């Protein structure tokens, strides 16, 4: 446990000393603040529009941080050769991957926490304290970012940051289109296309499972079963992807 | 007969084949190496650049996998994580997390060994003093000079009070003070009964401090033993330093002139059987013998010979192929 803690804390410490984190946070906060100005520019339920833009900003910048920190996480250790003094210690490589993951999830929790705090302050001043569904949606978002981070680490464990970024962005895009893949597949006339779309739907991540933003924006309750399914799906899928990352990493030669 | 458990390092048929280029053509980095390093000795691993020293060390330290063969560290299979429990490792040109101070760095590495907090606190302070970094303990490693980084690297290699210390080129690029410090630390570890295994191409250091040496050339271990065993006791030549009256013609002396006969000190290199005759001739001419220095083969001679042999074998092989 000490070893996992040491790797996680070191990862957290390294990330929060990285300027790129603050740049992304700054732009996230900027978008959150400008969402207030949107009130003056929109028609209809202006409060909902503001909430929607602000929630979208939290989701977007959370994803950006998960992807950009995740893709460099393992690669940087190899490039800077810091891995030499770690992999030569009595720690299994899966523990290293898990420690890096836990550390990065700590960074994402801190980042989400800060943006959520800003959201709460802004909304409380403008519209009143956010509904409980907003908080539940953030927990689901955190789980989504956990899955995205696991994919980023998997790609980072065997490729360069550029390739890992491209793959992770692809996973992000596909993950948010999983329902469309299913729907279009079912409409296809060819049996093989339908079967292939079903295969893709079940193998690739469905990030839509974690998206409860619409309910939160409308201050509607999020069904318990939807929340539990998202949590179970997120934990299970992340564990499988991290397991794959650990497997790939454990077979790697450090040159 | 010593068993693997009594050995610090045992390798049997350790082989590494790389397929790094686009066509995945094989390149043999290590040809079935057999090696024994005894507990409590300082073992130097020498060879030219690209000989396979770092490859062997990386395999032993779990950074690369062997294509074939077996190895054990302190009696435990090198592929098991627990084989590293009592091992300290200093990689070549060590890189560290630049944002950490050396005190934080040592704590981090100590935690990777699950060391209890009190033990770790004491060990960190001891090591900072030992490697002379106590005044810079709270400065980020990113601001350190090369020598200071190397010392921090040695400290992290010793954090778990290891029974076996493995170092890859520990003295490379260091100034004389830095090299002396590393040498002293290596001696200190041996005095405490620890084993030190290190690679180097600074042969003077190896000759000075190693109990035994392994010579690796082109991925093959060409020999291992004490320096006397490798270079032999035999005196190859004798340098005779003398002073003679002006006008003495050194052409009458056997051997070859090393330094001319016009100054106060002349020097003649002769074969050992000719030494008595040389001394007699110098004395007969009214001269005085000042020094007689036997010259033995050095590690450098042995290494260069092995490199030449390897080149000859390779060129013959190429000739056969062509």
Gap between the terminal Cα atoms of chain B: 45
Rg of the Cα trace of chain B?
A: 25
User: pLDDT, tens digit, for every residue of A68-92?
Assistant: 888 888 888 888 888 999 999 999 9
| 8 A C-beta contact, residue A52 and residue A211 | no
| pLDDT confidence of residue A42 | 64
Q: Tell me which chain A residue has its CA closest to the CA of residue B84.
A: A90
Q: How confident is the model at residue B233 (pLDDT cuts 50, 70, 90)?
A: low
For B44-67, what is the mean pLDDT?
91
| pLDDT confidence of residue A149 | 93
| Helices and strands, number each (H, E), in chain A | 11, 0
Query: Can you tell me the distance from the alpha carbon of B56 to that of B63, in angstroms, rounded to the nearest whole number?
Result: 10
Please say if the pLDDT value at position A255 is more than 90. Answer: no
The answer to whether the CB atoms of A255 and B100 lie below 8 A apart is no
The answer to whether the CB atoms of B111 and A17 lie below 8 A apart is no
| pLDDT confidence of residue B1 | 45
Task: Say which residue the tokens 């949107």 belong to.
Answer: A38
- Report CA-CA distances (Å) from A94 to A207, A238, B175, B257, B295: 25, 14, 39, 66, 55
The answer to whether the CB atoms of B62 and A5 lie below 8 A apart is no
Query: Can you tell me the distance from the alpha carbon of B92 to that of B153, in angstroms, rounded to the nearest whole number?
Result: 10
- A85/B contact by beta carbon, under 8 A: yes
Q: How confident is the model at residue A2 (pLDDT cuts 50, 70, 90)?
A: confident
**B306 Cβ partners below 8 Å, 6+ apart?**
B215, B217, B222, B223
Q: What is the ipTM of this complex?
A: 0.80
| 8 A C-beta contact, residue B109 and residue A119 | no
- B59/A contact by beta carbon, under 8 A: no
Give the pair of three-digit tokens for residue A216.
């939160």
- A189/B contact by beta carbon, under 8 A: no
The answer to whether the CB atoms of B96 and A85 lie below 8 A apart is yes
DSSP H helices in chain B = 53-60, 102-112, 117-130, 146-157, 176-191, 203-209, 227-231, 275-284, 299-321
Query: Can you tell me the distance from the alpha carbon of A144 to that of A235, in angstroms, rounded to the nearest whole number?
Result: 10
Q: Give the pairing type, strands B68-73 and B7-18.
A: antiparallel
The alpha carbon of residue B55 and the mean position of all alpha carbons in its chain are separated, in whole angstroms, by 15
- A76/B contact by beta carbon, under 8 A: no
pTM of the model: 0.82
- Report CA-CA distances (Å) from A125 to A50, A116, B124: 13, 14, 51
Size of interface A-B (CB pairs under 8 A): 76
Query: Can you tell me the distance from the alpha carbon of B153 to that of B151, in angstroms, rounded to the nearest whole number?
Result: 5
User: pLDDT, tens digit, for every residue of A125-170?
Assistant: 877 888 888 899 999 999 999 999 999 999 988 888 888 888 988 8
- A19/B contact by beta carbon, under 8 A: no
The alpha carbon of residue B82 and the mean position of all alpha carbons in its chain are separated, in whole angstroms, by 26
The answer to whether the CB atoms of A13 and B63 lie below 8 A apart is no
- A92/B contact by beta carbon, under 8 A: yes
Please say if the pLDDT value at position B315 is more than 80. Answer: no
Q: Tell me which chain B residue has its CA closest to the CA of residue A91.
A: B81
Task: Say which residue the tokens 């296309």 belong to.
Answer: A193
Rg of the Cα trace of chain A?
A: 20
Most confident of B90-104, B153-167, B202-216: B153-167
| 8 A C-beta contact, residue B20 and residue B88 | no
Mean pLDDT of chain A: 86
Residue with more model confidence, A233 or B250: A233
For B12-33, what is the mean pLDDT?
84
Q: How far is B93 from chain A (nearest CA, A)?
A: 9
The answer to whether the CB atoms of A90 and B108 lie below 8 A apart is no
User: pLDDT, tens digit, for every residue of B30-43?
Assistant: 888 999 999 999 99
Query: Can you tell me the distance from the alpha carbon of B153 to that of B131, in angstroms, rounded to the nearest whole number?
Result: 10
Q: What is the DSSP letter of A111?
A: H
- Judged by average pLDDT, the poorest of A38-42, B66-70, B84-88 is A38-42
**B14 Cβ partners below 8 Å, 6+ apart?**
B30, B32, B33, B34, B35, B56, B59, B66, B68, B69, B70, B71
Q: A144's torsion region: left (phi>0), alpha (psi -120 to 50) or beta?
A: alpha
The answer to whether the CB atoms of A89 and B111 lie below 8 A apart is no
| pLDDT confidence of residue A43 | 64
Q: What is the DSSP letter of B174?
A: -
User: pLDDT, tens digit, for every residue of B266-314?
Assistant: 888 999 899 999 999 999 988 899 989 888 777 777 778 878 887 887 7
Most confident of A50-64, B10-24, B32-46, B245-259: B32-46
Query: Can you tell me the distance from the alpha carbon of B257 to that of B251, in angstroms, rounded to the nearest whole number?
Result: 9
The answer to whether the CB atoms of B112 and A90 lie below 8 A apart is yes
Q: Tell me which chain B residue has its CA closest to the CA of residue A1.
A: B114
* In chain B, % of residues over pLDDT 90: 44
| pLDDT confidence of residue A236 | 95
Residues of chain B found within 8 Å of residue A13, distances taken between Cβ atoms: 99-100
Q: Give the burial class of A139: count Cβ atoms within 10 A of its Cβ; 0-12 exposed, 13-18 middle, 19 or more buried.
A: middle
- A40/B contact by beta carbon, under 8 A: no
Query: Can you tell me the distance from the alpha carbon of A241 to that of A66, in angstroms, rounded to the nearest whole number?
Result: 15
- Judged by average pLDDT, the poorest of A189-193, B28-32, B88-92 is A189-193
Q: Tell me which chain A residue has its CA closest to the CA of residue B107.
A: A6
User: pLDDT, tens digit, for every residue of B2-16?
Assistant: 455 579 999 999 999
Q: Tell me which chain A residue has its CA closest to the CA of residue B152.
A: A85
- Judged by average pLDDT, the poorest of A30-44, B7-21, B145-159, B199-213 is A30-44
Residues of chain A found within 8 Å of residue B65, distances taken between Cβ atoms: 251, 253
For B221-246, what is the mean pLDDT?
83
Q: Which residues pair with residue A193 across a beta bridge?
A: none
Query: Can you tell me the distance from the alpha carbon of A214 to that of B120, in angstroms, rounded to the nearest whole number?
Result: 51
Buried b (16+ CB within 10 A) or exposed e, A103-130: bbbbbbebbbeebbebbeebbeeeeeeb
Query: Can you tell me the distance from the alpha carbon of B237 to that of B271, in angstroms, rounded to the nearest whole number?
Result: 5
Closest CA to B236 of B290, B282, B275, B278: B275
Q: How confident is the model at residue B262 (pLDDT cuts 50, 70, 90)?
A: low
Query: Can you tell me the distance from the alpha carbon of B171 to that of B181, in angstroms, rounded to the nearest whole number?
Result: 10
Give the pair of three-digit tokens for residue B288.
């005085």
Mean pLDDT of chain B: 87
Residues of chain B found within 8 Å of residue A80, distances taken between Cβ atoms: 95
């Amino acid at each position: 446990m000490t070893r996992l803690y040491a790797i996680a804390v070191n990862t957290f410490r390294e990330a929060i000393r990285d300027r790129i984190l603050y740049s992304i946070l700054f732009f996230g906060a900027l978008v959150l603040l400008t969402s207030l100005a949107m009130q003056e520019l929109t028609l209809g339920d202006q409060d909902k529009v503001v909430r929607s833009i602000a929630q979208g900003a939290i989701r977007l910048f959370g994803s950006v941080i998960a992807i950009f920190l995740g893709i460099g996480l393992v690669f940087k250790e190899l490039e800077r050769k810091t891995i030499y003094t770690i992999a030569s210690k009595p720690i299994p490589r899966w523990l290293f991957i898990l420690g890096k993951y836990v550390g990065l999830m700590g960074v994402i929790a801190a980042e989400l926490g800060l943006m959520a705090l800003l959201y709460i302050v802004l909304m409380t001043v403008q519209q009143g304290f956010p509904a409980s569904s907003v908080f539940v949606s953030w927990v689901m978002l955190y789980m989504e970012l956990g899955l995205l981070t696991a994919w980023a680490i998997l790609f980072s464990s065997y490729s360069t940051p550029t390739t890992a970024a491209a793959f992770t962005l692809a996973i992000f895009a596909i993950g948010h289109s999983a329902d469309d893949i299913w729907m279009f597949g079912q409409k296809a006339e060819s049996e093989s296309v339908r079967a292939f779309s079903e295969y893709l739907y079940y193998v690739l991540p469905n990030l839509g499972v974690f998206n409860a933003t619409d309910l939160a924006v409308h201050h509607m309750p999020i069904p318990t079963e939807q929340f539990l399914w998202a949590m179970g799906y997120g934990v299970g899928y992340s564990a499988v992807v991290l397991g794959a990352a650990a497997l790939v990493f454990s077979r790697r030669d450090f040159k | 007969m010593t068993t693997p458990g009594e050995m610090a390092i045992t390798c049997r048929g350790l082989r590494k084949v790389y397929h790094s280029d686009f066509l995945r053509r094989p390149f043999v980095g290590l040809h079935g190496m057999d090696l024994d390093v005894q507990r409590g000795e300082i073992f130097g691993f020498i060879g030219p650049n690209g000989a396979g020293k770092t490859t062997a060390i990386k395999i032993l330290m779990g950074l690369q996998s062997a294509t074939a063969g077996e190895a054990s560290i302190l009696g435990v299979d090198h592929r098991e994580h627990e084989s590293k429990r009592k091992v300290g490792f200093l990689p070549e040109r060590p890189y560290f997390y630049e944002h950490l101070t050396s005190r934080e760095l040592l704590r981090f590495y100590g935690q990777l060994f699950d060391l209890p907090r009190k033990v770790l606190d004491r060990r960190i302070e001891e090591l900072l003093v030992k490697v002379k970094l106590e005044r810079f303990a709270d400065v980020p490693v990113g601001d350190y000079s090369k020598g200071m980084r190397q010392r921090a690297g040695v400290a992290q290699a010793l954090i778990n009070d290891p029974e076996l210390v493995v170092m890859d080129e520990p003295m490379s690029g260091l100034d004389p003070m830095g090299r002396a410090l590393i040498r002293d630390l290596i001696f200190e570890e041996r005095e405490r009964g620890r084993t030190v295994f290190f690679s180097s191409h600074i042969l003077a250091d190896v000759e000075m401090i190693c109990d035994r040496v392994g010579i690796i050339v082109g991925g093959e271990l060409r020999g291992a033993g004490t320096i006397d065993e490798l270079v032999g006791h035999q005196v190859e030549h004798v340098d005779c330093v003398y002073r003679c009256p002006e006008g003495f013609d050194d052409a009458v002396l056997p051997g070859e002139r090393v330094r001319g006969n016009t100054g106060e000190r002349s020097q003649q290199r002769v074969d050992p059987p000719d030494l008595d005759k040389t001394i007699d001739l110098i004395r007969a001419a009214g001269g005085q013998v000042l020094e007689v220095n036997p010259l033995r083969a050095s590690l450098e001679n042995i290494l260069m010979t092995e490199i030449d042999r390897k080149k000859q074998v390779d060129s013959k092989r190429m000739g056969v192929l062509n």
